[in-house]
Chains A and B, each alone.
Chain A
Amino acid sequence: MPFGLLLSGLVNGARVGPVLPPAPDLKDAYDVVIIGGGGHGLATAYYLVHDWGISNVAVLDKGYLGGGNTGRNTAIIRSNYLTPEGVRFYDESVRLFQGLSNELDFNILYSERGHLTLAHTDAAVRTMRWRAEVNKHLGVDSELIFPDEIGRLCPELNLSEDVRYPILAALYHGPGAIARHDAVAWGYAAQAARRGVHLHQLTEVTGLEIAGGRIRAVLTNRGRIGCGHAIQAVAGSSSLLAAMAGFRLPIRTVPLQACVSQPLKPFLDLIVVSGSLHVYVSQSDRGELVMGGSTDPYALYSSRSTLDFKESLMAHMLELFPFLAEVKVLRQWAGMADMTPDFAPILGATPVANYWIDAGWGTWGFKATPVCGKRMAEAVGTGKVPGVLAPFALARFDDFRLVGEKGAASVGH
């Protein structure tokens, strides 16, 4: 027991101040109102003031900051997607994540683990090879490896051929990482608030005032808030807010469940994912195995848990790590995911002028937090959608230019 540290803490009165300042009074109008105080909304607020000097900004959340999908994902960060559009976008995000603790002066516990996507069928091996080549072409560290090397990297994995789905190969992505997801939201919130952004929790949007095809004000349970621009960043409820703005989205809201095991001594360095078995798992700094699976089979606005999810996830976990049979599940939860038909987000302009959208976050939202914040802020700051966001425009569904991101976590191969 490091008594010196304890003594120092007691004697020097080391106190941790509050991360956020007290909430300021709600103003009648802001230049930019961001609806949704999750990682994406808070990051957008931070980059609006940091990159573009726009500080008359409010972030509204009907609950508490980071209480939605920001705090419900499995915190995996990677860029080894399949489409060039996706790889470019997520690669920028990974690079921003790598320097984020320094930039925000807030430890997001960024932990580079290496990321294994397992292939159990010939079709999956082909897709992994395809992904590796697209990744390498765009400068992302990614390669196809086979059981001998998988065994060296992750000796805990069951590489036996006497299982239902033997491991044939894997896509290895060295920069794959995990981070503390709450800290990402808090870090952005703290830095945005320090620069004058107003964060208003328990402020629920009840309607939007649109005149002449332009957003004029956001109506809330605390009154009308005028705005020059508004951004919706409320994945899980995107369709409900879009309905207030008068347009429909190609989104179904589907629960995505996850769970953690009881804490174990560190044994799993890598993040292990299997698209065919619908498993992704990493070991957190606390020793818990953070596990997720596929999305629920039908649309729902509920974060309830089901036995079906746990049964299928655990069956597949035990095929990969049979020695975990006696380990218990500690906590289980769900988030509401915005599933799009092409497994890619919806970003940028909407049919309403000055009303921007950051939606379509199915199982891939947390890892996009920094790039989305930075580039959505650029869109608002310049009035022009940046190139890296352009392929994800809502308008792609009007002219049948879908992205087809089969590298998403919920897609089997």
Chain B
Amino acid sequence: MKLMHCPLNGPRNISEFVCHGEVVAPPDHARCTDAEWAAYVFLHDNQAGVVREWWMHVPTAYWFIAERDTRSDQILRTYRASEMYSARLDLAPNGRAT
């Protein structure tokens, strides 16, 4: 059984987690072109090697970041999203009400 270390819940069976894909900064949706938005939605780097991804522990709905090697299936490090994001991400930077 493969274990993943959840920053909130400790080591748990990997089947309790869901991978939500590469950590990428979203483009400014109000200003970006359709092509930029399409690239953000659909395209992946899909690297063979060390990747940084969003994961979620499903029973607690806890989101965090994991670094793992996609060639060896090794999980190198998991950490709280606050390590990467210290401030709130403003998804409506043009000043519109959210």
Q: Which A residues lie at the B interface, using CB under 8 A?
A: 237, 239-240, 243, 248-253, 297-302, 304, 306-308, 341, 397-400
B15 near A308 with CB under 8 A, answer yes
Give the residue name and chain of the B residue nearest to A341 (CB).
Answer: B42
A–B Cβ pairs within 8 angstroms, 25 of them = A237-B48, A239-B44, A239-B47, A240-B46, A248-B39, A248-B43, A249-B43, A249-B44, A250-B42, A250-B43, A251-B44, A297-B18, A299-B70, A300-B73, A301-B70, A301-B71, A302-B70, A302-B72, A308-B2, A308-B14, A308-B15, A397-B42, A399-B34, A399-B38, A400-B34
- A298 to chain B: which residues have CB within 8 Å? 19
* A-B complex: 3 closest residue pairs judged by Cβ atoms: A239-B46, A250-B42, A298-B19
Tell me the minimal C-beta distance from B65 to chain A in angstroms.
Answer: 14
A99 to B42, CA, bound (A): 38
Are A307 and B43 in contact (CB-based, < 8 A)?
A: no
- Whether the Cβ atoms of A307 and B44 lie closer than 8 Å is no
Distance A48 CA – B25 CA, assembled complex (angstroms): 43
Q: Are B44 and A252 in contact (CB under 8 A)?
A: yes
Which residues of the partner chain B approach A399 to less than 8 Å between Cβ atoms?
34, 38
**Chain B residue contacts of A252, Cβ below 8 A:** 21, 44, 46
A-B Cβ contacts below 8 A, count: 63
- A240 vs B46: C-alpha distance when bound (angstroms): 8
CA distance A297 to B2 in the complex (A): 12
Size category of the binding interface on chain B: 20 to 34
B35 within 8 A of A: yes
Question: How far does the alpha carbon of A302 sit from the alpha carbon of B73 in the complex, in Å?
Answer: 7
- Residues of B contacting A307 with CB < 8 Å? 1
Determine whether the beta carbon of A306 is less than 8 Å from that of B2: yes
Majority-rule SS of A interface residues: loop
Out of A248, A300, A304, A341, which one reaches B45, CB within 8 Å? A248
Q: Name the residue in B1, B2, B38, B44 with the highest tally of chain A Cβ atoms < 10 Å from its Cβ.
A: B44
Nearest-Cβ distance from residue A213 to partner chain B, whole angstroms: 17
Nearest CB of B to A245, in Å: 14
Within 8 A of A (CB), among B1-49: 1-2, 14-15, 18-19, 21, 34-35, 38-39, 42-48
With CB as the reference atom, state the residue of chain B lying closest to A242.
Answer: B46
Best-surrounded residue of B1, B14, B46, B48 (most CB of chain A within 10 A): B46
Report the minimum CB–CB distance from A293 to chain B (whole Å).
Answer: 14
Measured CA separation A250–B40 after assembly (Å): 10
Q: Is the CB of A398 within 8 A of B35?
A: yes
Closest to B43 in A: A248
CB of B76 to closest CB in A, whole Å: 14
Question: Which residue on chain B has the smallest CB distance to residue A308?
Answer: B15
B46 proximity list for chain A (CB < 8 A): 239-240, 248-249, 251-253, 299
Q: How far is the CB of B39 from chain A (nearest CB, A)?
A: 7
* 8 new A-B contacts at CB < 8 Å, known A304-B73, A308-B2: A240-B48, A249-B44, A253-B48, A300-B73, A301-B48, A301-B70, A306-B2, A397-B42
Flag B44-78 by CB within 8 Å of A: 1 or 0 each: 11111001000000000000000000111100000
Could you tell me the distance between the alpha carbons of A248 and B35 in the complex, rounded to whole angstroms? 13
A248 (CB) vs chain B CBs: closest residue: B43
Residues in A whose Cβ lies below 8 Å from that of B71: 301-302
Q: Is the CB of A297 within 8 A of B48?
A: no
| Residue of A whose beta carbon sits closest to that of B18 | A297
Tell me the complex Cα distance, A341–B45, Å: 14
Assess whether A297 is in contact with B38, with CB atoms less than 8 Å apart.
no
A250 to B44, CA, bound (A): 6
A400 and chain B: residue at smallest CB distance: B38
* A143 vs chain B, min Cβ distance (A): 35
Q: A301-B71, A302-B73, A304-B73 are in contact. Are A398 and B38 (CB under 8 A)?
A: yes
User: How far does the alpha carbon of A239 sit from the alpha carbon of B51 in the complex, in Å?
Assistant: 14
Residues in A whose Cβ lies below 8 Å from that of B44: 239, 248-252
Partner of A297, one of B15, B35, B45, B70: B15
Interface hub of B2, B70, B71 (most chain A Cβ within 10 A)? B70
Report chain A residues within 8 Å CB of B21.
252
Complex: A240 Cα to B44 Cα, angstroms: 11
Closest Cβ–Cβ distance, residue B38 to chain A (whole Å): 5
- B51 to chain A minimum Cβ distance, whole angstroms, is 8
